[in-house]
Chains A and B, each alone.
Chain A
Amino acid sequence: MLIAYLPILIMIVIASVMACSVLFISSLFRPKNPYKEKLSPWECGVKPTGEANVGHFRVHYFIIAILFIVFDVETLFLFPWAVLLTDKSISGFIFVEMLIFIAVLAIGLIYAWAKGALEWI
């Protein structure tokens, strides 16, 4: 039933409209007095040095993101399995199947662990 998903759209529209109208109301009242010092990024009160958004971040965040993709997609495979698990005609078969799947997942985790991808220094 596609109609079950319609409220999502309604909710997104109502919430966006309310949020934008609050921003609009606020824009009627609030003062606007910008100057250079006020608009510079906050850095403990001293002059900011360099740019922040040029992309200098630890590569470790990237490794975590890759690991996340792998593990999250694999948990998604578990959902249909979990729904069907008590279906007596196939439950034994899919349980063994999932045993192998989780073993592969565990080997992946152990590999990442042994390689030091999970160490945060």
Chain B
Amino acid sequence: MIDLALIITIIIMVVKVGLLTMILFSLPMPLTWIERKVAGHIHARLGPFRVGPHGIMQPMADTVKLLFKEDIVPEKADKLIFKLAPLIAMIPAFAVFVAIPVGGTWTVPFIDQEMNLYVTDMNVGLLYILAMGGLGIYGIIFGGWASNSKYALLGGMRSAAQMISYEVALSFAAVGVVMMSNSLSLVDIVNTQGGGFWNWNFFYLPVGPVWFFIFIIAGSAEINRIPFDLAEDEGTLAAGFHTEYSGMKFSFFMLAEYIALVTVSVLAVVLFFGGWNPPIDYTIPFVPIAFIWLFWFVIKVSVFIYMFMWVRFTLPRYRYDQLMNIGWKILIPISLVNILITGFMRI
């Protein structure tokens, strides 16, 4: 009854998922440091500089500080939902990454075993990512409502309305990619973009760049980044939905936010910039192809993460009515027209 091959598959899955979780848990640490350094240099100052050389140990110090912070639950809060909300915000952000491929199938030299550089290749991968990404809204609205604070409630409400408004535009951009690649599986989407940079969806003229800009605008609204960070508009709402959170629970919201930033960068790369494919196909003797794939994947994702940080410290914030106008009156009509053009080009 016991199927050995199945057990080995499951063990490999557990190892891969475990590794992925470790990476995701520790990723926000360098990211916070980089973000503060980028902020510092854009503001013509140094950024964190005290803890360790060039402040590189700052995230460690922050983690220790957050671990030792008192955990405050407001007395009139809905205790259960208040405690559950950070987990509901964080776990879908992790679960999204299961479907994301960082490389193709690679034959390991010497042992001649095929190894997939992705955890799983779901045939509805893109749909799954949209669904899981949408679940993150619950964490935010639960956190905002359960705190029983007016600022948190307003922040949660705004955030929910903003995220669902841009979710529509994001889904349309995903439909556009599916039309260009004819598959919902992310591995297939990347494979159709192989061969060279002219095959990337971004260069599918004239509709590719339009889809990309719809995607990146909707994406940055979806993850509550400036210029769309109305949910935690510190000028009017204190800290928005996490006003009442402290210590580790607060850091879980931040973790979810940074992972969402990575998710949108990764999706931009996978959907529009050829995923792990290098701009021009090449091989270097004695260097496994997997390293080339990983190299290009990391480079492309880093560029997008840097771009989001750059935008954050360059642009001012939108007003709420402007935000809603951009979502409903600009992005959605453009998407509808663009779907027709793309469809006409594809048939």
Interface positions of A (Cβ within 8 A of B): 3-8, 10-12, 14-16, 18-20, 22-23, 25-27, 29-34, 36, 38-43, 48, 51-53, 57-58, 60-61, 64-65, 67-68, 71-72, 75-76, 78-79, 82-83, 85-86, 91-92, 95, 98-99, 102, 105-106, 109, 113, 118-121
Interface of B is mostly: helix
Q: How far is the CA of A34 from the CA of B127 in the complex (A)?
A: 45
Closest to B158 in A: A61
Q: How far is the CA of A85 from the CA of B329 in the complex (A)?
A: 27
Q: How far is the CA of A76 from the CA of B176 in the complex (A)?
A: 12
Q: Is the CB of A14 within 8 A of B17?
A: yes
Beyond A14-B21, A41-B74, A68-B164, is A29–B67 a contact (Cβ under 8 Å)? yes
Q: Is the CB of A83 within 8 A of B183?
A: yes
Q: How far is the CA of A14 from the CA of B6 in the complex (A)?
A: 20
Q: Is the CB of A30 within 8 A of B70?
A: yes
Residues of A within 8 A of B6 (CB): 3
Q: How far is the CA of A4 from the CA of B74 in the complex (A)?
A: 42
Q: How far is the CA of A14 from the CA of B320 in the complex (A)?
A: 38
Q: How many A-B residue pairs have CB under 8 A?
A: 207
Closest to A36 in B: B75
Question: Residue among B14, B148, B150 with the most chain A CB within 10 A?
Answer: B150
Interface positions of B (Cβ within 8 A of A): 6, 9-10, 13-14, 16-18, 20-21, 25, 66-78, 86-87, 90-91, 94-95, 97-98, 119-123, 126-128, 145-153, 157, 160-161, 164-165, 167-168, 171-172, 174-176, 178-179, 182-184, 238, 243-244, 247-249, 252, 320-321, 324-325, 328-329, 332-333, 336, 339-340, 343-344, 346-347
Q: How far is the CA of A65 from the CA of B72 in the complex (A)?
A: 31
Residues of A within 8 A of B165 (CB): 64, 68
**Extra A-B contacts (10), CB below 8 Å, given A29-B68, A30-B70:** A4-B122, A11-B97, A16-B91, A26-B67, A26-B247, A26-B248, A39-B75, A65-B161, A79-B174, A82-B176
Q: Is the CB of B153 within 8 A of A53?
A: yes
Q: How far is the CA of A113 from the CA of B72 in the complex (A)?
A: 44
Q: How far is the CA of A71 from the CA of B120 in the complex (A)?
A: 29
Residues of A within 8 A of B121 (CB): 4
Q: Is the CB of A42 within 8 A of B122?
A: no
The one of A36, A76, A118 in contact with B329, judged by C-beta atoms closer than 8 angstroms, is: A118
Residues of B within 8 A of A41 (CB): 74, 76-77, 147-150, 152, 244
Beyond A15-B90, A22-B248, is A51–B76 a contact (Cβ under 8 Å)? yes
